Amino acid sequence: MYTRTGFRIMVAIGVLALSMAVISQANTWAAEPVAKDKTVKRSAQTRTQAPAPKAAATTSVMPGTTGKSTACFGEAPQLDKVTPDEGKAGDKVTITGSSFGTAACLRGVSFGPGHPAQFQQTNNSITTTVPSGGKKGLVLLTVTTASGENSKPFLVK
């Protein structure tokens, strides 16, 4: 007879085994066809790995930092001031703040969800233009970096 604790342990091991099977789907074992006239004995199985998903990788290497990690990760951006805090499509907007990172680390600026904007970055400021075709009214002006995002309200006229 199984005890209640023994049954729970057995169920936990089964769940763990199933979880590992689901997690490791990217790595598969495939049989390699064996040629009849080979004299060198090789393993009949080889490990293959599914291709990694394609993603845009950004790297910034400064002289003297080869082999060191990039500085894209740190604090989320801090937005101190948005000037002006309202405008219509085509108006220029300046965002001042800190922790924007390098130009390669700044992922984007948007006026509400799904409305990315073109931008230029300097030390502690970002200059952008209100995109056309976006929602009018109060939206969130969001700055996204590799370390996170931060938003301020903006009125689109």
Q: What is the CATH number of the domain that holds 95?
A: 2.60.40.10
Q: Is residue 107 part of a domain?
A: yes
Alpha-carbon 54 to chain mean position: 12
pTM (global) more than 0.75: no
Domain that holds residue 128: 78-156
Exposure string of 73-108, with b = 16+ CB inside 10 Å and e = fewer, is eeeebebeebeeeebeeeeebebbbebbbeeebbbe
Q: Is residue 149 part of a domain?
A: yes
pLDDT of residue 106: 87
pLDDT of residue 111: 93
Q: Is residue 24 part of a domain?
A: no
pLDDT of residue 134: 83
Q: Is residue 50 part of a domain?
A: no
Q: Is residue 143 part of a domain?
A: yes
User: What pLDDT, in 10s, does the model give residues 47-78?
Assistant: 555 555 554 444 444 455 555 555 677 889 99
Q: Is residue 138 part of a domain?
A: yes
Q: Is residue 118 part of a domain?
A: yes
Number of domains in the chain: 1
Strands 86-87 and 148-156: parallel
pLDDT of residue 73: 78
pLDDT of residue 43: 54
Q: Please answer whether residues 152 and 80 qualify as being in contact, where contact means their C-beta atoms are separated by less than 8 angstroms.
A: no
Which residue stretches of the chain have pLDDT < 70? 1-2, 14-71
Q: Is residue 36 part of a domain?
A: no
